[in-house]
């Protein structure tokens, strides 16, 4: 590991001790306040504020893979799950093994996610390999999608978000805060999601940012000829479940919007990994992840081909929740299933050291993603939400 990566890791670990000492000192000096039914502010243990130097990042692209476990991200094909034919749901084990099974963990993950591990990871940091001392986890206790996405978008656990019901909540997201803070038009902050719930969760006010979610057409003022074609194409694609569209039109609508409208902040939310897991088709889950890897390749190569984005864009990739770790429960996730709380995050861009996987490292929370993105955009996350998690220390050059 390069020296600057070691320094970043050590700095993050030192934050834990410093924050613990500060909390202990405050506790000794002040009486305990009465209990109140609100979310507690996130402690600073996981992260340190980035340096005051102006960031080189001008644009941020956030990508989420729904319900992708740390086991697949860091280890590729899970032999424990794959070996149980009935509980894995693998239709053709020989095909699955030929595509994704390799002798070592590093080889398996490279076979599953070749572009992520071969090109992206070396240009940034990847956190969450719990087995090697890097833990990324949730603050919300639910470990399912709507609470997880709201934690990402608002920078904290929201106690009133307890279901996956499609509704808008009165919580400002970092997307709408960034739009105001950077004085952008609504179309300069864009969300493309396979799950229609993002139409409601992306902003507390409808229309504050551009959102295309579920089976939804991009409106004519934003539709190029190719976008118009994808608008029609998506209506002929049947999703596995009824609550969203397949990821292919989501990705290609986002890609064409990026080319045509040059948003400063783009969020792409994929969902089929969670769909295939709930369907108990481990082979199709792996296939979906392999396709996501190629989406990342196309996205990154597109960004690098555009002057506005080349060398000025940070890519943040994460997930909303983990899931079970055993053959009998890998398909599920909630507060009672061990492993559902374990997630991961990758940050790749000009302000982030070229470290690859960083472990051991200080604990990071899902709530820290919002402040990290706002800091990369040169905005003060404390003005966004004083209760939000802090920026991820390892994501910034020491």
Per residue in 183-200, pLDDT (tens digit) is 999 999 999 999 999 999
Q: State mean pLDDT over 96-123.
A: 98
In whole angstroms, give the CA distance from residue 105 to residue 112. Answer: 11
For residue 17, what pLDDT band results from cuts at 50, 70 and 90?
very low
In whole angstroms, give the CA distance from residue 200 to residue 145. Answer: 13
Q: State mean pLDDT over 269-291.
A: 98
Q: State mean pLDDT over 284-297.
A: 98
Query: CA nearest 188: which of 247, 257, 268, 249?
Result: 257
Q: Who wins on pLDDT, 143 or 29?
A: 143
CA 139 to the chain's CA centroid? 15
Query: Per-residue pLDDT tens for 151-180?
Result: 999 999 999 999 999 999 999 999 999 999
Q: Quick one: pLDDT at residue 3?
A: 57
Q: Quick one: pLDDT at residue 43?
A: 41
Q: Quick one: pLDDT at residue 39?
A: 36
Cβ contacts of residue 82 below 8 Å, gap of 6+?
88, 90, 93, 96, 97, 101, 282
- pLDDT of 13 > 90? The answer is no
- Measured CA angle at 266 (ends 261, 267), to 5 deg: 140
pLDDT over 70 percentage in the chain: 87
For residue 398, what pLDDT band results from cuts at 50, 70 and 90?
confident
What is the rounded average pLDDT for all residues in the chain?
90
For residue 362, what pLDDT band results from cuts at 50, 70 and 90?
very high
Question: Residue 356: what are its φ and ψ, rounded to 5°?
Answer: 70, -145
Q: Quick one: pLDDT at residue 5?
A: 75
- pLDDT of 304 > 80? The answer is yes
- pLDDT of 34 > 90? The answer is no
- Measured CA angle at 151 (ends 149, 153), to 5 deg: 70
Cβ contacts of residue 246 below 8 Å, gap of 6+?
194, 234, 237, 238, 239, 240, 272
Kindly give the residue spans of alpha helices, DSSP state H, lying in the chain. Answer: 3-29, 70-75, 79-82, 85-88, 93-100, 105-112, 114-115, 145-154, 174-181, 198-201, 225-234, 247-261, 272-278, 282-305, 368-376, 381-384
Query: Per-residue pLDDT tens for 55-108?
Result: 999 999 999 999 999 999 999 999 999 999 999 999 999 999 999 999 999 999
Q: State mean pLDDT over 234-254.
A: 95
- pLDDT of 377 > 90? The answer is yes
In whole angstroms, give the CA distance from residue 110 to residue 52. Answer: 36
Question: Residue 63: what are its φ and ψ, rounded to 5°?
Answer: -125, 130
- pLDDT of 229 > 50? The answer is yes
Report residue 175 as tokens.
């997307």
Q: What's the Cα-to-Cα distance from 337 to each of 127, 238, 340, 341, rounded to whole Å?
A: 22, 30, 6, 9
pLDDT over 90 percentage in the chain: 85
Q: Quick one: pLDDT at residue 242?
A: 86
Buried/exposed 195-229: b ≥16 CB within 10 Å, e otherwise? bbbbbbbbbbeeebbbbbbbebbbeeebbeeebee
């Amino acid at each position: 590991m390069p020296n600057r990566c070691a320094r970043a890791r050590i700095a993050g670990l030192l934050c834990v001790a410093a924050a613990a000492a500060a909390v202990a000192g405050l506790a000794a000096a002040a009486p305990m306040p009465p209990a109140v039914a609100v979310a507690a502010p996130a402690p600073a243990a996981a992260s340190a504020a980035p340096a005051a130097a102006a960031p080189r990042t001008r644009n941020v692209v956030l990508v989420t893979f729904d319900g992708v476990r740390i086991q697949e991200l860091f280890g590729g094909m899970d032999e424990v799950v794959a070996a149980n034919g009935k509980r894995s749901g693998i239709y053709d084990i020989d095909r699955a093994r030929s595509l994704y099974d390799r002798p070592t963990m590093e080889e398996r993950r490279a076979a599953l996610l070749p572009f992520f591990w071969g090109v992206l990871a070396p240009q940034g940091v990847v956190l969450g390999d719990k087995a090697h001392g890097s833990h990324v986890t949730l603050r919300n206790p639910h470990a399912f999608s709507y609470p997880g996405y709201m934690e990402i978008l608002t920078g904290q656990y929201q106690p009133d978000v307890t279901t996956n019901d499609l509704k808008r909540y009165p919580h400002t997201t970092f997307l709408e805060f960034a739009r105001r803070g950077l004085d952008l038009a609504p179309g300069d902050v864009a969300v493309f999601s396979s799950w229609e719930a993002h139409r409601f969760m992306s902003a507390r006010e409808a229309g504050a940012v551009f959102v295309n979610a579920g089976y939804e057409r991009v409106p004519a003022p934003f539709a190029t000829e190719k976008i118009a074609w994808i608008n029609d194409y998506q209506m002929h694609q049947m999703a596995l479940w009824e609550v969203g569209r397949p990821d292919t039109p989501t990705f290609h609508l986002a890609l064409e919007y990026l080319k045509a409208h040059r948003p400063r902040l783009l969020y792409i939310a994929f969902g089929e990994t969670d769909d295939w897991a709930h369907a108990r088709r481990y082979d199709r889950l792996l296939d979906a992840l392999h396709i996501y890897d190629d989406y990342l390749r196309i996205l990154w190569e597109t960004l690098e081909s555009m002057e506005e984005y080349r060398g000025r864009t940070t890519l943040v990739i994460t997930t909303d929740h983990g899931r079970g770790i055993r053959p009998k429960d890998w398909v599920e996730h909630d507060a009672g299933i061990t492993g559902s709380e374990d997630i991961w995050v990758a940050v790749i861009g000009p302000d982030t050291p070229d470290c690859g996987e960083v472990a051991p490292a200080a604990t990071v929370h899902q709530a820290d993603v919002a402040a990290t993105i706002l800091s990369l955009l040169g905005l003060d996350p404390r003005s966004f939400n004083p209760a939000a998690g802090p920026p991820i220390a390892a994501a910034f050059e020491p």
